[in-house]
Amino acid sequence: MDLDALTGCLASTACLVTQTTSGLIIGMLLFLVAVGLTLIFGVLKVVNFSHGAFYMFGAYFAMTAYQMSGSFALAMLCGAAGTAILGLVFERVFMSRVYGANVLMQLLVCYAFVLIFDDVVRMVWGPEFRSMGMPAAFQVMPLFIAGGVIPPYYLLLIGVALSMALILGLGLARTRIGKIIRAAAHNPGMVSALGINTGLIYGGVFALGGMLAGLAGALAAPVRSLTPGMGFSVLIESFIVTVIGGMGSILGALIGALLIGLIRSFGSLGFPLFTEGLMYLFMVIVLVARPSGLFGKEIA
Binding to another protein in span 5-64, by CB under 8 A: 5, 9, 14-15, 18-19, 21-23, 25-26, 29, 47
* 142 lies in the binding site for another protein (CB under 8 A): yes
Cβ of residue 212: shortest distance to another protein, in angstroms? 17
Angle (CA) 185-190-196 rounded to 5° is 85
Cα separation, 299 vs 41, in Å, equals 14
Give the nearer residue to another protein in terms of CB position, either 135 or 169.
135
Taking CB under 8 A as the criterion, the residue among 60, 154, 206, 295 binding another protein is 154
162 counts as binding another protein under rule CB under 8 A: no
Q: Does the footprint of another protein cover residue 158 (CB under 8 A)?
A: no
Among the listed residues 164, 191, 201, 230, the single contact to another protein using CB under 8 A:
230
**CB neighbour list of residue 90: distance below 8 Å, 6 or more residues apart:** 50, 113, 206, 210
For residues 183 and 191, give the distance between their C-alpha atoms in angstroms, rounded to a whole number: 7
Q: Within 13 A of 8's CA, how many CA atoms are on the CB side?
A: 6
The Cα 148–Cα 140 span in angstroms is: 16
On whether the CB atoms of residues 242 and 252 are closer than 8 A, the answer is: yes
Ranges within 257-296 binding another protein (CB under 8 A): 264-265, 268-269, 272-277, 280-281, 283-284, 287-288, 291-292
Burial 184-198 (b: 16+ CB within 10 A, else e): bbeebeebeeeebeb
> Cβ closer to another protein: 111 or 200?
111
Among 34, 220, 254, 258, binds another protein (CB under 8 A): 220
Q: Which of 240, 241, 258, 259 binds another protein (CB under 8 A)?
A: 240
Asked if 139 interacts with another protein (CB under 8 A), we say: yes
How many residues bind to another protein according to rule CB under 8 A?
Answer: 86
